[in-house]
Amino acid sequence: MIFSKPPTSVIAPGEPIRHNAEITQQLDWEVELAAIIGTKAKGVAREDALAYVFGYTVCIDMSARDCRRAGQWIYSKGQDTFAPMGPCIVTADEIPDPQTLDLSLTVNGVTKQSSNTAFMLFKVDELVADISQGITLEPGDIIATGTPAGVGAGMDPQEWLWPGDTIVATVAGIGTLTHPIVKA
């Protein structure tokens, strides 16, 4: 599944993630490795795909699980503040294999996600190649690559974020994002 997020969803490290209880009662988290495109990519072969990646950063893909509209994800995932990114860009030459990175996320100090990019369903090179077949990727485009198990929707019972919570997401070799959840 491919979806987009508008620029207004992106926030800097430490900025608050807004929880609008009038819109959602199911605010969820997803730690992800984000690949930043450095060279225009159209119709790229998988074996060449990593050459189009400038670098990597950490992304938290926030989701209002109860805001999917007829299978459309942009309203669920594209709300303002729903794409924290940072804390820096690590260039691709410093991460020659993006499929070897540990990643984790905590909520209020409790580990919810802990895995490695080796277990991604779709590898970075596969994502760049696949997306570039139908959408021209341009320098500065960012691909959030997917999340490991441990999201709130997958818990039994399900868990959601609320104002007062703090989430911390880390990708080894890149850095850590810390974000408070606040009332919108």
**In-domain check, residue 26:** yes
The CA radius of gyration of the chain, in Å to the nearest whole number, is 16
**In-domain check, residue 133:** yes
Q: What angle do CA 176, 60, 151 make, to 5 degrees?
A: 110
Q: In terms of residue numbers, what domain contains 131? A: 7-183
User: Which pLDDT score, from 0 to 100, does residue 6 have?
Assistant: 96
Buried b (16+ CB within 10 A) or exposed e, 5-36: beeebbbebeebbbbeeeebebbbbbbbbbbb
**In-domain check, residue 1:** no
* H-state helical runs in the chain: 74-77, 124-132
**In-domain check, residue 2:** no
User: Which pLDDT score, from 0 to 100, does residue 69 have?
Assistant: 75
Number of domains in the chain: 1
Residue 68 maps to which CATH number?
3.90.850.10
User: Which pLDDT score, from 0 to 100, does residue 37 have?
Assistant: 98
Provide block-wise average pLDDT over 10 residues at a time, the chain (184 residues): 92 98 96 98 98 98 89 90 98 97 98 97 97 98 96 97 98 98 97
Q: Model-level pTM greater than 0.75? A: yes
